[in-house]
Amino acid sequence: MSRILVQPVGQKRLTNVAVVRLKKHGNRFEVACYKNKVLSWRSGVEKDLDEVLQSQTVYSNVSKGVLAKSKDLIAAFGTDDQSKICLQILEKGELQVAGKERESQLSSQFRDIATIVMQKTYNPETQRPYTITMIERLMRDIHFAIDPSSASKKQALEVIHELQKHFPIKRSPMKLRLSVPEQGLSTLMENLNSWNAKLISKDDKLGTQLSCICELDPGLYRDCEALMNNLQGKFEVLALSIHAEGDAHLDQYDEEEHEASHLRKEKEPPTDSVASKKLSEKLQKQTISTSGGGEEGKQNKCSTCNAVVGDSSSEYREHFKSEWHKHNLKRKTRNLPPLTKEECMADIEIGDSRADLKDYSF
C-alpha cells in the first residue's frame, strides 16, 4: 500500500484575512473579509461589497476551508442565498481580532477615553485641567475595564463618575447664552440659582427678549433645554467646556516654603563660616586640577580598574581596549573588586589553563 508523501508548505496562509463569525441555531457561520474593511463597511465609508468580502461564500470554518451546509443555512437564515447571508453576517457578526490587534485597539481606545475625560474635567483646587498622563494613571488606579463595543464618549462619562468618588475632579461647566421674554426672566433666574450656575452677564437685549450668559454644569443641560422650551426662549452653546486661563499664582506656595525655611533656620545653628570654608577648599581643588602646570591634572584615572592610566588621551583610549580593562569589567558585573594589571594577567592565564583541561576527558 503506497503512502502519499506530505511535504511542509512554506507559504503563510490567511495572512490578509479577517474573519467575521455569527453563531445562530447552534451552528457557526463565517465569512472571509479583507482586513480594515469590515469597520469601514459598518461605518458606511465602504460601499462596494467586493472590496470587503474576499469571496461571497459562507463557511463553517474559514481557516480549514469547510463550507457551510445548505440545510444549516436554510434552518438559520431561511434562505440559501450566499450574498444575502453574507450581508447579515457582516452586519450582526463578531469580527475576530488577533491578540496584538486587540491590544492595540484597546490601548488606542484607552487613550481616547482619557483625552475626553481631560477635556471635560478640571481640578477644583487649581481650577485647571488634569494632564493626559495623570488621567491615565487615575484610570488605572480605579481599575477601569474598557468595553470595545461601547462608545468612547459614553465610557468617558462613566470614568468621570467613578473618579469623582475617589479623587478631587469636577465636570467643566458649559458656557451658554439664554434668551427669554421679559416675563420669564424671573423664573429663569430662580432656576439658575437653584442649579448653582455662575452668571457672567445679564439684561442684554436681543430684540424683544432679554439674554444672559452663564456657566452651567453639563449634567443640567437637558433640564435647561426643557426650561427654555417652556419659557419660549432660545439658548446657544458658546463653549462645551471652560477651564481657567492665564498663569498660575504660586504666592501661597512661596509663602509656605518661606515659612518652612524660616523654621529650619531657627532650629539649625548658623553655619556660614563652615560653608564658606568648604566653598574655598572646593575652589582651591578646582584650580589645582584645572591648572596646566600640575602633573596630577593631566593624569587620567579609570574608575573600573581603580588606577591612573597614562597622561595622554591616546593612552587613555588604548586602556579601554586592553584585556586588563575588559577583565575588570566582567568582574564588575559580578560585583567583584578590580585587579591590578599583574593580578589580571595571572587570572587570565589560570582561566586559559582551565579551558584547555576541559578539552581532555579522563
Q: pLDDT of 62-105, one tens digit each?
A: 888 888 998 998 988 888 888 889 988 888 888 887 667 677 77
* Longest alpha-carbon distance in the chain: 112
Q: pLDDT-based confidence at 29, cuts 50/70/90?
A: very high
Question: In the predicted model, is pLDDT for residue 215 greater than 70?
Answer: yes
Q: Which three cell numbers stand for residue 302?
A: 579609570
Cα separation, 149 vs 284, whole angstroms? 70
- pLDDT given for residue 293 in this prediction: 44
In the block, cell 579601554 appears at 320
Separation of alpha carbons 53 and 18, rounded Å: 9
Mean pLDDT, rounded, for 208-229: 80
User: Cell 581603580 identifies what position?
Assistant: 306
Residue percentage of the chain with pLDDT more than 90 = 1
Residue 46 has pLDDT above 80, yes or no: yes
For range 154-176, the mean pLDDT: 85
Cβ atoms within 10 Å, residue 305: 23
* 272-329 confidence digits (pLDDT tens): 455 556 555 655 555 444 444 444 445 678 888 888 887 777 888 888 888 888 888 8
- CA nearest to 337, candidates 303, 308, 310: 303
* Alpha-carbon torsion angle 124, 127, 131, 135, nearest 10: 20
Look at residue 290 in the predicted model and tell me its pLDDT.
Answer: 45
pLDDT, residue 4, reads 64
pLDDT tens-digit profile of 226-250? 888 888 888 777 776 665 555 444 4
> Residue 185: in which H helix or E strand, if any?
helix 185-194
What distance, in Å, lies between the first and last C-alpha atoms of the chain? 52
Higher-pLDDT residue of 121, 10: 121
197/59: higher pLDDT: 59
Please report, for residues 39, 56, 58, 61, 237, the alpha-carbon distance to residue 30 in angstroms, rounded to integers and kept in the order given: 16, 11, 6, 6, 47
Phi (first) and psi of residue 195, to 5 degrees: -85, 0
**What's the whole-number mean pLDDT along residues 100-114?**
82
Q: Is the pLDDT of residue 362 over 70?
A: no
Domains of the chain: 18-96 (3.30.1250.10), 100-170 (1.10.10.900), 173-239 (3.30.70.120), 304-360 (no CATH)
Q: How far apart are CA 141 and CA 138, in angstroms?
A: 5
pLDDT at 21 over 80: yes
What mean pLDDT comes out for the span 40-50? 84
> Does position 361 have pLDDT exceeding 50, yes or no?
no
60 by Cβ neighbours in 10 Å (0-12 / 13-18 / 19+) ranks as middle
Kindly tell me if the per-residue pLDDT of 203 is higher than 70. no
